[in-house]
Amino acid sequence: MRLRTTAISILAIGLLAGSAVGVAAQGDSSPAFFSWTYGDGEAEFVPGEMDESVPGVMTMRDFTQVYSIEADDGRASGLSTYVFNSDSWADADADAPEMIDVITFSQRIVNEGGSWSGTGTLVDHTAPGEGAARSGASMATLAGESGYDGLTLFLLLTPGEEGGSGFIVATANVPPVPELPAAE
């Protein structure tokens, strides 16, 4: 019995020591939170292709917006290039219809310290009626480059707002995307 207790104690100490080394090797796992707004000045807008041939459906492809972002964490500030595709659905016969937009985009933010590149999705719902409420969400996941290698930036936005929030975390601390179980 004593041998078993000693072996369990040694195993537990070994596991704890191994865990401490693993945590120290990962570095600080705490995200750096920030708020951001669109910067001063006009956004540059480069139209792409638009198709409204189906009543109530608008398709936009390869539209580009270039604008500045100001964040309380300077690493997230800079010049943003945002290239997007959008599909919108609305009641073609209504004056102020209910509308749904689904947008997929690529984004790059550049500043003196480095850059961030990645993709995101925005879903925007506008209730029917003039001046109606909007709801939805957007999230971009951007990988750090140059001076930001090894970091990931998450940029969050509520459609209709003048900015949003976000955080920067070590890429090693971002959980992997799980695989779906096999279909039966």
- Between 161 and 44, residue with greater pLDDT: 44
**Is 53 part of a structural domain of the chain?**
yes
**Is 4 part of a structural domain of the chain?**
no
Q: Which amino acid is at 68?
A: S
CA distance 32 to 131: 36
**Is 16 part of a structural domain of the chain?**
no
Domain that holds residue 99: 25-172
* Count of domains observed in the chain: 1
- Whole-number mean pLDDT of the chain? 83
**Is 155 part of a structural domain of the chain?**
yes
**Is 6 part of a structural domain of the chain?**
no
Of 89, 147, 143, 84, which Cα lies nearest the Cα of 118? 143
Q: Quick check: helix, strand or coil at residue 181? A: coil
Task: Return the DSSP state at 176.
Answer: P
- pLDDT of 10-53, one tens digit each? 333 333 333 333 333 334 668 999 999 988 878 899 999 999 98
Backbone angles phi, psi at 45, to 5 degrees: -125, 125
**Is 17 part of a structural domain of the chain?**
no
**Is 182 part of a structural domain of the chain?**
no
- Between 80 and 131, residue with greater pLDDT: 80
Task: Check whether 5 has a pLDDT greater than 60.
Answer: no
- pLDDT of 107-127, one tens digit each? 999 999 999 999 999 999 888
